[in-house]
A and B are shown apart, each in its own frame.
Chain A
Amino acid sequence: MSRSAVAWTSQPAVKPDEFVSADIYTDPALFREELLRVKRATWKFACHESEIPALNDFRTFDHAGVPIVVTRSGDGQIRAFVNACSHRSAMVLREPCGNATQWTCLFHFWTYDNQGRCTQISREQGYEEAGVCKEKMGLREVRVGRKLGLVFVNLDESAPSFDEYFGDSFENLAEVLGTEELEVFHYHKATVKANWKQWHETNMELYHEYLHVVNRQVAMTGEGFFDREWKVYPYGHATLSPMVQKFERMKGWKARTDKPLPGLGPNEFRIVTFFPDTTIIVRATAMRIDTSTPIAPGVTLVEQRGLGIKGESVEDRTMRIKHHNQFWGPFGRNFPEDAIAVEAVYETVRAGAAPFALFARHEHERGQDDHPVRMFYREWSRYMGRPASAPAAKQGA
Chain B
Amino acid sequence: MVEAAKDLVALSCLLLDEEKFDAYLALFSPESRYSIRTYSPELRKDISMLDLDRTELGVLFKNLPKHVRLPGRFLRLANGTVVESTGDDEVSIATSVLVTHTDLEGISRVFAAGRYRDKVMMVDGKPRIGEREVRVDTRQFGPGSHIPL
Chain A residues with CB under 8 Å of chain B are 51, 59, 95-97, 184-193, 211, 213, 250-252, 318, 321-322, 325, 329-333, 335-337, 339-341, 343
Contacts and interface: CB of A to CB of B under 8 A. Distances in A.
Given A330-B141, A336-B144, A339-B142, 19 more contacts: A95-B41, A96-B42, A187-B40, A189-B139, A189-B140, A192-B142, A251-B59, A252-B60, A252-B62, A322-B51, A329-B49, A329-B144, A331-B36, A331-B50, A333-B63, A335-B143, A336-B145, A340-B68, A340-B70
Q: Which one of B42, B47, B145, B146 has the highest number of Cβ atoms from chain A below 10 Å of its Cβ? A: B42
Main secondary structure of the interface of A (DSSP, over half): mixed
Contact of A190 (B60, B68, B69, B142): B142
Interface string B89-106: 000000000000000000
B68 A330 contact: no
- Decide if the interface of chain B is mainly helix, strand, loop or mixed: loop
Interface in B6-62: 36, 40-44, 47-51, 55-56, 59-60, 62
Given A97-B41, A189-B139, A189-B140, A325 B51 contact: yes
Contacts of A184: 43
29 contacts: A59-B42, A95-B41, A97-B41, A97-B43, A97-B44, A185-B43, A187-B42, A188-B49, A190-B141, A190-B144, A213-B63, A250-B63, A251-B63, A252-B56, A325-B50, A329-B49, A329-B144, A330-B49, A331-B49, A331-B148, A333-B63, A333-B146, A336-B67, A336-B69, A336-B145, A336-B146, A340-B70, A340-B143, A341-B68
A51 B42 contact: yes
Interface residues of B, number: 31
Contact of A337 (B43, B56, B68): B68
A331 B43 contact: no
Nearest to B136: A330
B41 A96 contact: yes
A337 B36 contact: no
A325 B48 contact: yes
A97 B68 CA distance: 35
A252 B59 contact: yes
Contacts of B40: 187
Contact of A321 (B43, B51, B55, B145): B51
Contact of B49 (A250, A325, A333): A325
A13 B42 CA distance: 48
A330 B144 contact: yes
B57 to A, nearest CB: 10
A251 B59 CA distance: 7
